[in-house]
Structure 1
Amino acid sequence: MTEVIHIEPAGLGSRLEAIPPVGYLTRKALPIKRNDAEPLTREDIQYDLLYHIFNDNTQVFTNQVPGKYDKVTFRQLYVNALYHSSKCSKVLKDKMLDTPEFAVEFAKIALLTNVGRINTTMAFFPEMKTALRTYHPVPSLQKTDGNAQDAPRIKNCLKSALLASEVKKAPPSNPPEIIARYCSGMRPPTSVVNLIFVLSTHAALSQTMSRTHFDGNINFLDLFIPTNLSSPDRARAFLFIMFYYLEAPTGALKNPFGDELSEQDPAKAPRMHVLSPSEARRENVDLPEELEWGHKMSAQRNIFLQKLVSTDTRTRKQRLTPTSFPEHLNQDRLREGRAMETRHGSTMMARSCITCREALNQSVLRLGPYRRWMMTRASWSNQFMTSPPRLPQSHRPFLLLRPSHGRRTDFIGNWRKF
């Protein structure tokens, strides 16, 4: 079962003097840890949090690509960023256009990859053969056909989702650089995908964001892990931080996702309600059909792995076991050898056979000995090889061209001129 991080409530605007504990200990502990073919439940991915993030209809974000609307929702902003990525394939773009539900599901998985909850060792299609990744069905986010992507391709798509000004020049790598770009007049200062990358990395390395936007006992990445904080409140805090860095880092504009705390301090995220155990059990509840589909895909994955292992084992045995001649072929070779011995004499060497990995090609046996030998010389890796028949050879006679041929002196002992 997924471990739930319990966070103690703090007072309004309170600050802690000591370094506060966060929900994760290291960056390596953030990704979801599951065995191969094990489904990712709603609690693993925090489905209710993703639902409230992508179902918010507040159109306050500046459209980062030329379009019909100047202000869009976060759902439109994030989906457009993925669609216009240079590493987004044409097949994926067509699927996102044809099925908007698939585009939202893909964006939710991409957001989990963006913050680091899904690492690059995960894949989401059962026919995966590599041992470097593990397959995990996501029943709540795979209700439309075509969501067959793996985490490395998703991350490549995210890394290429940049603004036009960031293609040739490196994008900002920390929150102060993003704020400096905004103050210099760049609207927006960076892409929404790069902003989430920066905030996720910076939150894991420093406690500055915890003290800037929260009261010190939670951090940006704690919004995406299983916790006892309300999912709608965490979604609101996430959207508040997105609007703060993309639209109003100086506090000149009122943040539409703020509350009375943000009115006192424009950088403070809204307060989050701490759930009771009974309230927490009512969030992220898997549906029966989702559990059934997850078990079905896990069984399909296990069957695929069993077939793959049996095929590899059989292939390995065929490569290691020498291929032998059938008995009837041995008799045919014996009769052919005797006939050749009768025609060319008893000094003919017996032809040998070199065993190889592949099965024998029966058609090559019907060729003559010389053609067969030339063929096997050209493709010895998949044909049996026979040595050419050695014909009996007589000794060459020593023929003299003239009586003095080969002699340095004549018959009376004088040196000859050649």
Structure 2
Amino acid sequence: MASTSTGNTQAHGKHPSWPPEPIPPVGYLSRKALPIKRNDAEPLTRDDVQFDLLNYIFLDTNAVFTNPTPGKNGSKTTFHDLYISALYNSTKCSKVLKDKMIETPAFAVELAKISLLTNVGRINTTMAFFPEMKTALRTYHPVPSLQKTDGNAQDAPRIKNCLKAALLPSEFKSVPPSTPEEILEKNKAGQRPPTSVVNLIFVLANHAAPLASVHFDGALNFLDLFLPNKRLSSTDRARAFLWLVYYYLEDSNSTNPFDDDYSKSNPGKAPLLRHLNDAELKGENVDTPEELDWGRMMSNQRNAFLQRLVSSIEYEKKAKSSAPHFVSAVPETGHRKRTRHFASETSTKDEGAFLYYVPSKVEPTPSRNMIKGHGSEIQNTATTQEERTLLQQAWHIVTTTDPLIDSDEEDADQNARLDYTRRLDVINRLRGRPPTPARAPAENILGRDASERQRTSSWN
């Protein structure tokens, strides 16, 4: 019994052993860290875009790729010309962009480098590259190392649309290959190139995980070639990238012009990638002072643009809220509710209710100043107000009086009463002259004048 009790105690005293955390599948971490994540107006540095890698890829002079351009079938070209030609011949490439690519070859190279980053997914579709971008769905990022010409790099969604339409002439009527196996089958069948270089890069990026053990050691994949912080040589990564492009577009069995000793002795394996030490790593992708200054300048320009944009939006909202409009209920203004309104002749579609006119929010000119003194409130008429001319008074009435408000509800100031008095005097002088009606009897006039004087004295 004792031994049994001891055994049970030892059994219950053991801590449960949890299974180890599963190792993420190959390519998962690369896919997760692939898109560049930066705040709005934050520049993309050379390290972000891996400028040295892009530079080595587009500076390669090996003319070993088949040119798919109609009329040039069979001729060989470099990757530089192959990729730029694919962008130029895309059905989604605008005429303005094509003209700029021909006019400024340096802009074509910059656009091709940004497009390659979009092609592999390093630049996602939430990025834009011009500071006047207004939509809240994207963020602006200057790229000093890839925006040294005056061309407009547009935004990532337009670039991606251009890439998706960069197909071979034979692929417009059929479905382009979507797996590495389909591309190799077309290649072995004698179709060269079996697909466009842009579509090939899409396929390699989408199948980076399964190809990791085919062309690499299993711990590295195609997307890792474009990621920073891998401590891999840019020249070796560019060589491995071009090796893969040649392997699928040209020939997977014969000698690859981008082979090294390792890939020659191990068919199907990409060239080895050399790891850099700290000193070598610091020498790659170094931003120049001019690029840093330009990036800060464009960030400031973007922030100033956003401030102006926000101010204009707020101003438009205020102007819209104070503009005249119609409502289906009687509006309230100040401390009293207007009881007389001109209703619109039209009614709403759903209901037969009247639409009431709400004038613009213009502050009325005060006619009396409320002065408090000795605990009592008295009204003081503004007798010291400067008298307006006829033209000034007419303009004042036009700009401050709502024509749809009953005149009984208006607050008449001294100038308005003076204007009414002058008009009455003119009418009195004209009465009795053709074609005006005859004057009223004298006693009626005297009685009316007395009543007018009495009413005027009550105002004062």
TM over 0.5: yes
Pair 19,71 (structure 1): closer, same or farther in 2 beyond 3 Å: farther
Distance (whole Å) between structure 2 residues aligned to residue 66 and residue 60 of structure 1 = 18
Which residue of 179, 188, 195 corresponds with 2:193?
A: 188
Partner in structure 1 of residue 421 of structure 2: none
Deviation at 1:66, TM superposition (A): 2.7
Distance (whole Å) between structure 1 residues aligned to residue 308 and residue 189 of structure 2 = 60
Partner in structure 2 of residue 95 of structure 1: 100
Deviation at 1:148, TM superposition (A): 3.3
Partner in structure 2 of residue 245 of structure 1: 248
Which residue of 197, 200, 207 corresponds with 2:202?
A: 197
- State the Cα deviation string for residues 76-118 of structure 1 (Å, max 9, x = none): 0000000000000000000000110000000000000000000
- State the Cα deviation string for residues 198-230 of structure 1 (Å, max 9, x = none): 000111xx3x31111111221000000002000
Q: Show structure 1 runs of 5+ residues with no match.
A: 1-17, 325-348, 360-365, 367-383, 389-418
SS in 2 for 1:354: strand
Q: Show structure 2 runs of 5+ residues with no match.
A: 1-21, 326-339, 344-355, 363-393, 395-401, 407-460
Structure 1 stretches of at least 4 aligned residues deviating more than 6 Å after TM superposition:
18-21
Greater C-alpha radius of gyration: 2
Partner in structure 2 of residue 287 of structure 1: 288
* Aligned residue type for 1:212: V
Cα RMSD between the aligned structures?
Answer: 2.6
- State the Cα deviation string for residues 144-195 of structure 1 (Å, max 9, x = none): 0113310000000000000011111111111011111112221111100000
Deviation at 1:20, TM superposition (A): 8.5
8 Å Cα contact 1:261-1:271 kept in structure 2: yes
SS in 2 for 1:161: coil
* Aligned residue type for 1:298: S
8 Å Cα contact 1:55-1:75 kept in structure 2: yes
8 Å Cα contact 2:128-2:155 kept in structure 1: yes
- State the Cα deviation string for residues 16-75 of structure 1 (Å, max 9, x = none): xx9797676163431000000000000000000000000000000000113558000000
Partner in structure 2 of residue 232 of structure 1: 235
Distance (whole Å) between structure 2 residues aligned to residue 46 and residue 24 of structure 1 = 21
Distance (whole Å) between structure 2 residues aligned to residue 315 and residue 278 of structure 1 = 56
Question: Does 81-90 or 257-266 show the bigger shift?
Answer: 257-266
Matched, 1:36 2:37: no
Pair 350,51 (structure 1): closer, same or farther in 2 beyond 3 Å: closer
Which residue of 216, 219, 223 corresponds with 1:217?
A: 219
8 Å Cα contact 1:171-1:190 kept in structure 2: yes
* Aligned residue type for 1:320: S
Partner in structure 2 of residue 168 of structure 1: 173
Deviation at 1:318, TM superposition (A): 1.8
Partner in structure 2 of residue 62 of structure 1: 66
Pair 176,95 (structure 1): closer, same or farther in 2 beyond 3 Å: same
Deviation at 1:356, TM superposition (A): 5.7
Matched, 1:260 2:261: yes
Distance (whole Å) between structure 2 residues aligned to residue 94 and residue 22 of structure 1 = 43
Matched, 1:52 2:66: no
Normalization by structure 2: what TM-score? 0.66
Distance (whole Å) between structure 1 residues aligned to residue 404 and residue 188 of structure 2 = 81
Partner in structure 2 of residue 71 of structure 1: 76
Question: Does 256-265 or 120-129 show the bigger shift?
Answer: 256-265
Partner in structure 2 of residue 374 of structure 1: none
Distance (whole Å) between structure 1 residues aligned to residue 240 and residue 360 of structure 2 = 63
Partner in structure 1 of residue 183 of structure 2: 178
8 Å Cα contact 1:22-1:222 kept in structure 2: no
* Aligned residue type for 1:244: Y
Normalization by structure 1: what TM-score? 0.72
Distance (whole Å) between structure 2 residues aligned to residue 41 and residue 385 of structure 1 = 62
The aligned length equals 320
Matched, 1:146 2:126: no
* Aligned residue type for 1:102: F
SS in 2 for 1:114: helix
Distance (whole Å) between structure 2 residues aligned to residue 265 and residue 358 of structure 1 = 82
Query: Which structure carries more strand by proportion?
Result: 2
Distance (whole Å) between structure 2 residues aligned to residue 151 and residue 58 of structure 1 = 29
Distance (whole Å) between structure 2 residues aligned to residue 351 and residue 147 of structure 1 = 54
Distance (whole Å) between structure 1 residues aligned to residue 220 and residue 76 of structure 2 = 30
* Higher relative contact order structure (alpha carbons within 8 Å, sequence separation ≥ 6): 1
